[in-house]
């Protein structure tokens, strides 16, 4: 069956608490991937490396009073890292599709005393309740969940001021032809993690261009991941058995999708990339 926006919402409503429970870092409550660039020694720093890249891009265009939005914010971890490090920023928005995530983010923002500085809301990032003229919009592992990803770029183009930046950290499909086995692994990742929006960089760049967003940076982050891929035969057996299990909770497809993603990254079917677009 086709993946729907409601299915993505249910996926995160059911899984978020488990993702946080098994997070190995209590300081960085990120539910995205850790990046082990040379010199990084702690899990907290590895989890926040992508946040630091985003912060640098924001500071490059707004040395003070930045207006930003995190579209697909999860439980708010990226904003909690980035916002306090900006110079006198304006109030920021964090938008998540999941009411469970929105509730957790609102609880955390009160604990941190930032409730007047960061607004968290439940909503669809293809229809954002904000006026335009933002300095930066960013998303970490979020656009891949878009059922109609072109609408995300249309909205980002509307929200950003001239010279503003759209900053993405996400998975992108390779442009080379895939074998039958590789296509099956890509499908297993898409179905398991509810990521119908995984596309090639070329495809999303074409969409971005339609809305006056020009690609200015395209860096691969895959080498900084610590992959946990399995021998192909063992992984295929696990996937086959997993698909037969009568478990209805979304954690099962998530676990199978996680394994499939590791296979995809190892075989270079999918690449983890840092992209920056500038509003013309």
pLDDT, tens only, 156-200: 999 999 999 999 999 999 999 999 999 999 999 999 999 999 999
Q: Which CATH class is domain 5-175+195-226+270-279?
A: alpha beta
pLDDT, tens only, 9-56: 999 999 999 999 877 555 656 789 999 999 999 999 999 999 999 999
Residue 76: per-residue pLDDT? 96
- Which sequence spans correspond to the domains of the chain? 5-175+195-226+270-279
Residue 25: per-residue pLDDT? 59
Whether the per-residue pLDDT at 258 is higher than 60: the answer is yes
pLDDT, tens only, 107-137: 999 999 999 999 999 999 999 987 789 999 9
DSSP for the chain, written as a single string: ----HHHHHHHHHHHHHHHHHT-S-SS----S-----TT--SHHHHHHHHHHHHHHHHHHH-SSS--EEEET-TTSHHHHHHGGGSSSPPPEEEEES-HHHHHHHHHHHHHTT-TTTEEEEE--TTS-SS-S-EEEEEEES-GGG-SSHHHHHHHHHHHEEEEEEEEEEEEEE-SSPPPHHHHHHHHHHHHHHT-TT---HHHHHHHHHHTTEEEEEEEE-GGGS------HHHHHHHHHHHHH----STHHHHHHHHHHHHHHHHTTSEEEEEEEEEE-
Residue 1: per-residue pLDDT? 73
pLDDT, tens only, 66-85: 999 999 999 999 999 999 99
Residue 130: per-residue pLDDT? 77
Residue 260: per-residue pLDDT? 98
pLDDT, tens only, 220-242: 999 999 999 999 999 999 999 99
Residue 29: per-residue pLDDT? 67
pLDDT, tens only, 94-103: 999 999 999 9
């Amino acid at each position: 069956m086709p993946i729907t926006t409601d299915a993505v919402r249910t996926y995160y409503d059911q899984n978020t608490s488990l993702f946080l429970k098994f997070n190995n870092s209590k300081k960085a409550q990120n539910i995205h991937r850790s990046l082990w660039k040379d010199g990084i020694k702690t899990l907290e720093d590895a989890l926040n490396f992508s946040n630091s890249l985003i912060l640098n891009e924001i500071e490059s265009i707004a040395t003070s009073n930045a207006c930003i939005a995190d579209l697909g914010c999860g439980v708010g971890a990226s904003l909690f890292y980035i916002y306090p490090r900006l110079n006198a920023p304006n109030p920021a928005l964090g938008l998540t599709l999941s009411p469970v995530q929105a509730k957790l983010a609102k609880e955390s923002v009160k604990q941190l005393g930032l409730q007047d500085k960061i607004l968290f809301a439940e909503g669809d990032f293809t229809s954002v309740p904000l006026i335009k003229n933002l300095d930066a919009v960013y998303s970490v592992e979020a656009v891949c969940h878009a059922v109609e990803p072109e609408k995300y770029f249309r909205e980002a183009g509307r929200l950003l001021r001239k010279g503003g930046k759209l900053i993405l950290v996400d998975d992108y499909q390779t442009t080379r032809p895939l074998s039958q086995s590789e296509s099956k692994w890509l499908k297993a990742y898409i179905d398991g993690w509810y990521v119908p929006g995984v596309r090639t960089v070329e495809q999303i760049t074409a969409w971005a261009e339609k809305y006056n967003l020009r690609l200015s940076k395209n860096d691969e982050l895959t080498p900084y991941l610590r992959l946990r891929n399995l021998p192909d035969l063992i992984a295929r057996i696990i996937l086959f058995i997993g698909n037969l299990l009568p478990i209805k909770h979304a954690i099962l497809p998530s676990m199978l999708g996680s394994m499939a993603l590791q296979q995809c990254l190892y075989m270079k079917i999918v690449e983890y990339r840092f992209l920056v677009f500038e509003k013309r």
